[in-house]
Amino acid sequence: MEQSKLAAGWRATRSLAGLGLCWLLGAQLALAQATGPQDKASRTADKAGASSKSASPALNLDALPLAQRPGALAQALGRPRRLLVGVGTTDTGTVLGQNLSPDIYDQYLNGVGTDSWLSWNSPSGAYVDIVIQHAEMVGAVPMFTLYQMAARGDSNLSGLTDPTFMTPYWNQVRLLFQKLGRYGRPVLVNLEPDFWGYTQRAQADPHRMPALVHPNPDCAGLADTVAGVAACLIRTARTHAPRTLVGFPPSMFDDLKATDVAYMQRLGAGQADFVVMQTQDRDAGCMEAQNRAAACVRNGRHWYWDDSNANPSNSQTFHQHFAEARRYFEGLQKPLLWWQTPLGVPAAKPSSSPPWRDNRVRYFLTHPQELVAAGGVGVVFSPGERSQTTLRTDGGQFKTLSKAYFAQPAPLP
């Protein structure tokens, strides 16, 4: 899907073989544009960063026993040693209006060049500072989902060997981490969702697939390959923003699940700080309805998971998902952060139109110990498309269940 100025905040869909992710940035884009060229956030973030030159180096989780790494990561973020709960692609007014207390506040950075996140505010790139300020307003750790590789289309890899694409791509990556370094406090960055699945489909060995790395001056000596891209993303983060923690998202495409842990190992994802886990980016009911308008027409079944965990042969269960998640935790040796988890509300029967049903919020927040046992450090809830359930349309479900969770949180080892 071409990302025009009109649709700059909307994420293209995955292929039918994947789980699918279309994203919601309309509210955040409007908010960023409304903030204006003299936005206070730019001055605040730069001032904060100027006094943070002595920030501690990147967290070395590898020195710890595997079971203790999620707790250490939570503490490195300045949060309690318990399962963290966050929100994404939503405005601060909703968060503050519902008196929510998220640990993490996530927003997208998409596009390359003219219509990218660089152009959403003045001066160029000020949107990063604005999101940081908004995260601080709600008392959360800022999180950015870097989604630049899809600028020519979600599965279009033509830019990888095109200097006119990769040069601005790397310039934007460097600017992001330079800004986060000046901020000087913990930040999370989710590195290019879906992209690694498309590269895996194209070439099973990331060291053999060409991609331009040399336009980034921080990455001298790294190979011009997809594996080099992954290494360069990590090196740029470590060079400019030592307190920023980065994570790779395995695609979890159905056709790749048997091999994607091995692929991510070859990619070097274990050198990052966390693994980005996913369920699906749509409410289950939208997928059940195969609603074309909401880009929910995909292959698959058992969209609404069995929360009794009684019929693993007849439907997807939560226990099955957490067993799969544990495989990533053990394979990549890094804590798991669930991301873009849908906000739908449970219902006995599917519907043919919104509101769509889903039971992931209810199950995750009432069974947090299962996420911890799988290797989780936290979970971020957010819609993946404009017609999905949001914090404004969930009838107060997230507000009620998150408050109950925070009253009795799940500790991390």
Q: Rounded to whole angstroms, how far apart are CA atoms 186 and 158? A: 34
Two tokens, residue 224: 């011009």
Pick the residue with more confidence: 186 or 24?
Answer: 186
Query: How many residues does this entry show for the chain?
Result: 413
Residue 34 has pLDDT above 70, yes or no: no
- Residue listed under structure tokens 């995955």: 14
3-state secondary structure of 295: coil
pLDDT at 21: 38
Residue 59: its pLDDT value, please?
Answer: 80
CB atoms within 10 A of CB 294: 22
Read off the pLDDT of residues 394-408 as tens digits, 9 standing for 90 and up.
999 999 999 999 999
pLDDT, one tens digit per residue, over 74-89 is 999 999 999 999 999 9
| Whole-angstrom distance, CA of residue 160 vs CA of residue 134 | 33
pLDDT digits (tens, 9 = 90+) for 257-309: 999 999 999 999 999 999 999 999 999 999 999 999 999 999 888 999 999 99
- CA 251 to CA 283: how far, in whole Å? 18
Q: What angle do CA 268, 269, 270 make, to 5 degrees?
A: 90
Q: Where are the alpha helices (DSSP H) in 310-407?
A: 318-332, 360-366, 368-374, 397-407
- The answer for residues whose C-beta is within 8 angstroms of residue 191's C-beta and 6 or more apart is 146, 230, 233, 246, 247, 248, 249, 272, 276
3-state helix, strand, coil in the chain (%, to 5): 40, 15, 45
pLDDT band at 44 (very low <50, low <70, confident <90, very high): very low
Distance of CA 44 to the CA centre of its chain: 25
| Band of residue 6 on the pLDDT scale cut at 50, 70, 90 | very low
What percent of the chain shows pLDDT beyond 70?
A: 86
Judged against a pLDDT cut of 80, whether residue 343 lies above it is answered with yes
Whether residue 261 contacts residue 327, with contact meaning beta carbons closer than 8 Å, is answered with yes
At 306, phi and psi to the nearest 5?
A: -80, 105
pLDDT value of residue 126: 97
> What does the pLDDT average to over 380-402?
97
CA distance 112 to 33: 18
The tens digit of pLDDT for each residue in 49-81 reads 333 333 444 589 999 999 999 999 999 999 999
**Structural domains of the chain ordered from first start:** 26-37+70-407 (3.20.20.80)
* CA gap 375, 87 in Å, rounded: 20
pLDDT of residue 18: 34
Q: Which residue has the tokens 């940081």?
A: 132
What is the percent of the chain where pLDDT is above 90?
83
Query: 87: which strand partners?
Result: 105, 381
Of 284, 314, 241, the C-alpha closest to 45 is 241
pLDDT higher than 60, residue 242? yes
**CB-based burial, 371-404: b 16+ in 10 Å, e otherwise:** bbbbbbbbbbbbbbbbbbbbbebbeebbbebbee
* Rg (the chain; Cα; Å): 20
CB-CB contact of 391 with 95 (8 Å):
yes
- Pairing relationship of beta strands 104-110 and 336-341 according to DSSP bridges: unpaired
Ranking 19-23, 168-172, 393-397, 406-410 by mean pLDDT, the lowest is 19-23
Instruction: Give pLDDT, residue 12.
Output: 32
| 138 neighbors 49 (Cβ within 8 angstroms) | no
Using CB atoms within 10 Å of the CB of residue 126, give its burial: 0 to 12 exposed, 13 to 18 middle, 19+ buried. buried
